[in-house]
Amino acid sequence: MEELIYKEECYKIVGILYEVHKNLGKGFSEIVYKDALEFEFNENDIIYEREKEYSVKYKNSILKHKFYADFIIDNKIILEVKTVDCFNASHYNECLNYLKISGNKLALLVNFNLVSLEYKRIVDSKK
């Protein structure tokens, strides 16, 4: 059985996700959850970047449109925040694209719009 990558870091992040959901519940817009997460990251001394910009390289040039990941934690875990009825293929594909252009191995996709918090670990198996 393979060891989970970034197991300890994810345990701490998921604990924070549950803390935010416990306090806010469902129904707010994404920006409110992002603000609460930023508060908790600061309170817990977690190194992060919010709205991290990534350029897309195509052949020998950089495309004009960019991607913005919600959070990059410890410069290695992407955290993508959603408030949707349920995850769909475009949410997973978005995370896979972030992994591809960032060079990171793990993304956490989280949905705050349910009675119970929903999250998925997305691993780039090519790394």
Kindly list the structural domains of the chain, giving each domain's residue range(s) and its CATH number in brackets, ordered by start: 7-123 (3.90.320.10)
% residues pLDDT > 70 (the chain) = 97
List pLDDT tens digits, range 41-68. 999 999 999 999 999 888 999 999 888 9
Say if residue 71's pLDDT is above 80.
yes
End-to-end CA distance of the chain: 18
Mean predicted lDDT score pLDDT of the chain: 93
Residue pLDDT, tens place only, 95-109 = 999 999 999 999 999
What pLDDT was estimated at residue 3? 79
The answer to whether the CB of 95 falls within 8 A of the CB of 122 is yes
Query: In degrees rounded to 5, what are phi and psi of residue 27?
Result: 110, -15
**pLDDT value of position 15:** 97
> Are 24 and 37 in contact, with CB atoms under 8 Å apart?
no
pLDDT in tens, 7-33: 999 999 999 999 999 999 999 999 999
Q: Is the CB of residue 75 less than 8 Å from the CB of residue 69?
A: no
Model-wide pTM > 0.85: yes
Q: Measuring CA to CA, which residue among 13, 124, 22, 25 is closest to residue 70?
A: 13
Are 32 and 82 in contact, with CB atoms under 8 Å apart?
no
| Residue 118 phi, psi (nearest 5) | -120, 135
H helix runs in the chain, sequence order: 7-24, 30-43, 89-102
CA–CA dist 79, 63 (Å, integer): 23
